[in-house]
Amino acid sequence: MRKRLAVAVTAACLIAFAGWKAGSADAVGRAQLKTVLPWQVAEGWFGGFSAIEVAADGRAFTALSDRGHFVQGLLVREGGDIVGVLQGEDEALLDAKGKVPRSYRRDSEGLAQLGDGPIYVSFEGVHRIDAYRELNQAALPIARFPKHEGLHGNGSLEALAVDRRGRLFAITEDALGAEGEATVFVFSNGNWSTPYRISRSDGFHPVGADFGPDGRFYLLERGFNGFGFRSRVRRFDLTAAGLVNEAELFRTRTGTHDNLEGLSVWQDSAGNMRLTMISDDNFRFFQRTEIVEYVVPQTP
């Protein structure tokens, strides 16, 4: 993918706000809040970010909006923590014919890639997952996602991740079947299956996922009470018995962050896992795009 870097967003006021927010956020659990950086670009395409992928060095990133648009850039770091954003290439996702799809087919929500392998994007509205060699090229549709009567236009394929074996994991925002369970769809060898279940609780809904360099599965969930958003991240071990050894890494109170939807997990030079997230402002003036990062100290 092309990376023509352009605009630097490193204003002192943003950095100061990030430091204040990090020090005042009320989160509990094993992860520690390091950065909350507001990010704004005065262009019509900007906003609605539902997914983010961060490179192994913690700097290069791709962010995906829910209007079928993506942007690439660099996260500027000082002392390991994010202090600014270098915005780069931004383009629309294309369909299998290499054209910009109609609006009802652009609701892109999940983003996942393993190494230099295919880039996967999940969509709501028209429920599907497309693959790309590069995000600025024509889509390569994969096997049709299983039909399910519980799939709705605004509660469909949100969380997307690829494990070390190249298997694609997808979780819908809304429950399918039992209300207290999240069905995990797995795409492998050209076929879909549902071998795993994850518990759902406390009004949280799956919105983002990733496999960390430690091989563990990380799930970002969101709660909304009509006034503001709550967030939590849980971690699971992937074993022959399924997704087990659940650990809640953090849970926030309403209003700590905006509408966090995208999650990328990577390992810093100290061996700690970093949870880099991005918020969806829904293109509303009273919400904000934030890049939020927590650190999980190295554990056995």
What single letter denotes the amino acid at residue 37? Answer: L
Q: Is residue 2 part of a domain?
A: no
Q: How many Å apart are CA 60 and CA 47, to the nearest integer?
A: 19
Q: How many Å apart are CA 288 and CA 53, to the nearest integer?
A: 19
Q: Is residue 214 part of a domain?
A: yes
Q: How many Å apart are CA 260 and CA 262, to the nearest integer?
A: 6
128 vs 8 pLDDT, higher one? 128
46-52: average pLDDT: 96
Q: Is residue 299 part of a domain?
A: no
Q: Is residue 240 part of a domain?
A: yes
pLDDT digits (tens, 9 = 90+) for 6-26: 333 333 333 333 333 443 344
pLDDT (0 to 100) of residue 6: 36
For residues 96 and 140, is the Cβ–Cβ distance under 8 A?
yes
Q: Is residue 239 part of a domain?
A: yes
What single letter denotes the amino acid at residue 239? Answer: T
pLDDT (0 to 100) of residue 29: 54
SS3 assignment, position 99: coil
Q: Provide the residue count of the chain.
A: 300
Domain that holds residue 136: 8-291
For residues 233 and 219, is the Cβ–Cβ distance under 8 A?
yes
Q: Is residue 3 part of a domain?
A: no
In the predicted structure, residue 108 carries a pLDDT above the cut 80: yes
Number of domain units in the chain: 1
Q: Is residue 170 part of a domain?
A: yes
CATH at 113? 2.115.10
For residues 87 and 41, is the Cβ–Cβ distance under 8 A?
yes
Q: Is residue 263 part of a domain?
A: yes
pLDDT (0 to 100) of residue 20: 35
In the predicted structure, residue 237 carries a pLDDT above the cut 80: yes
pLDDT band at 131 (very low <50, low <70, confident <90, very high): very high
Q: Which of 261, 238, 266, 218 shows the shortest CA–CA distance to 52?
A: 261
